[in-house]
Copies of this chain bind each other. A is one copy, B any other.
Amino acid sequence: NSWLTLRTHLFCFVWQIAMIILFGVFIRYDEESDTHWVETKAHDNITSDIENDFYFRYPSFQDVHVMIFVGFGFLMTFLKRYSFGAVGFNFLIASFGLQWALLMQGWFHSLDPQTGKIFIGVESLINADFCVAGCLIAYGAVLGKVSPVQLLVMTLFGVTLFAVEEYIILNLLHARDAGGSMVIHTFGGYYGLAISRVLYRPNLHQSKRMQGSVYHSDTFAMIGTLFLWMFWPSFNSAITDHGDGQHRAVINTYLCLASTVLTTVAISSLSQKTGKLDMVHIQNSTLAGGVALGTAAEFMISPYGALIVGFFCGIISTMGYIFISPFLEKTLKIQDTCGIHNLHAMPGVIGGIVGAITAAAASESVYGKQGLINTFDFTGDFKDRTVLTQGGYQAAGMCVSIVFGVVGGAIVGSILKLPIWGDPADENCFDDEVYWEVREPTFHTSRTITPKSPMISSQLPDEEEEHQESIPPILEYNNHMIHKQQDL
C-alpha cells in the first residue's frame, strides 16, 4: 500500500526479470557441462569422466556455498533480535548477487569474442559465490541499520565494482589471489566501512537496548563461525591449480587457522581484568588467519610460515576489537556492527602484504623451474616476469582493492543516504520487527516500530490477537505494565 513497500517487490521482480533476459542473451553451458562433452572427450582424448573439472572442484564449491549462506548468515545472528535479518537478508542478497556476478564476471573474464556468449561451469559458480562474499562482508558493517532495498542496491553496485577491480588485479596486473585476501576481503571490508561512514547515525545509542547478544544468539553465531573456520581451507583452494595447488592451499589454511585460535584466546583473556573470554573475539578473530592467507595459501609459504601468519593475525584482529573499533566509532564515525574492519579489512591488507613478500621471495630452488611457472602462471605475455616484479604487482593489486573499496563505498553510500530507501529510525535499528513478522512478544518499548522515511503501517492487529491467546495472563499483565511504565 505504501510505495516503499511496493519498492521491495518491484526491485526483486524487475531485477529477476532482467537477470532472465540477460542470461537468455549471454549465458550458456561450458563444454564440460554440455551434452556435447561426449564429443569433447573424444576430441581431446580424455579417457574418463573423472577428468571433468566438476570432480576437481565440486566438493570445494559446496563448502564455499555453505560458508556463504550458513557461515556468513549465522555469524551475524549474534544480535539478540536481528537473527531473521542476519540470516534472511544474507540469503536474499547472496541469491541476487550471484546471478549478477555470473554476468559481470563473465563479461570481464570469459566473454567469448566469437559467439558473444559466456560459458559457465562449476568454477564460474565458485567465482560467483566469491564475488557475493565481498558484498556480504560489507553487509556486516551496516547490519541492522539498513533496509532490504538498500542492501540490494549495495549488492548491485558491490558486485559491479568487484568484477572491475578483480579484472584489473587478476588480469591486467596479473596478480595471484586465489583466496581473495585483496579482491574479496580488502575490497569488501573497505567498501562496507566507507558505506557505514557515509550512513553515520549520531543517535544510534537510541537503539542501545537492541544491541549486544543474548546467550542463545551467541550460540547460533558459533554455527556461523565454525562453518566458516572449518571450510576456509576449501575457500582458499577452490580455484587454485589442480593437484598440488589445491592440496597445498588446504594445508596452509588449515594450519594458519589453528594458530589463530590460540592467539585469539590469549589476547581475549588478557583484555579483560577478570581474564574471562569474550565471545565476540572467539566468533570473529579466530577467522582472521584464513583471510590473511587468501593470497599466499597456494604459494610455498611452508607450514611454519602459515603458523606465523596465523599467530599475528589472531593478535592483531583481537586487538582491533578492543582498541581500533571504539576508535573508529568515536573518532572516524564509522559504526561497524560486526567489526569487519578487524575480521576482513585489516587481515585482508595483511594478506596482500604477505602475498607480495612471499611472491617476491619465491625461488627456483624452492619451487622448481616448472613449479614456479605454474604457481605464478608465468606464461604468455608474462613469461619473462621475475618474482620481484610479481611481488610489486601483488602490492599494486593491494592498493587497487583498497581504492575501489573506499571510493566505491563512498559513492554508493551517498546514493544510499537519499531519504527514499525506507531505512529504520535510529531507535528501531537492530530490530527484526521493522521488516519481519515476529510472532513472539519482545520487551520492546511501545513506540511504533517503523522505517524512518516513507511510513508503513505499524499497527500489528494479527500479532496482538495471537498474543492474547498464547500468553498466560500473568505474563500478559506484566507485559502491559512494562509498556505503561515505559510510556511514562
Contact = CB atoms under 8 A, between A and B. Distances in A.
Given A12-B265, A58-B59, A244 B51 contact: no
B273 A457 contact: yes
A317 to B, nearest CB: 15
Given A12-B263, A49-B56, A485-B473, A234 B62 contact: yes
A303 B28 contact: yes
A430 to B, nearest CB: 12
A92 B229 CA distance: 12
B457 A472 contact: no
Contact of A262 (B12, B24, B259, B437): B12
13 contacts: A9-B269, A9-B270, A12-B262, A13-B266, A19-B259, A20-B307, A34-B244, A34-B371, A70-B226, A84-B279, A91-B282, A122-B250, A472-B485
A379 interface: no
B277 A230 contact: no
Contacts of A368: 35-36, 38-39
A133 interface: no
Contacts of A231: 62
A322 to B, nearest CB: 12
A473 B480 CA distance: 12
Interface string A139-162: 000000000100000000000000
Interface stretch (A168-176, A192-200, A214-222, A324-332): A214-222
Interface stretch (A205-213, A334-342, A387-395): A205-213
Contacts of A23: 255, 303-304, 307
Contacts of A4: 275
A208 B5 CA distance: 31
Interface stretch (A107-115, A183-191, A463-471): A463-471
Interface stretch (A345-353, A403-411, A438-446): A438-446
Interface string A240-271: 00111011101100110111011101110110
A185 to B, nearest CB: 21
A435 interface: yes
Given A36-B371, A370-B38, A230 B50 contact: no
Contacts of A258: 95-96, 98-99
B469 A125 contact: no
B438 A215 contact: yes
Which residue, of A247, A308, A486, has the highest number of chain B Cβ atoms within 10 A? A247
A278 interface: yes
A414 interface: no
Given A87-B226, A99-B259, A282-B91, A266 B9 contact: yes
A209 B219 CA distance: 21
A382 interface: no
A453 interface: no
A93 B62 CA distance: 27
A311 interface: yes
A386 interface: no
Nearest to A1: B273
A436 B53 CA distance: 46
A51 to B, nearest CB: 6
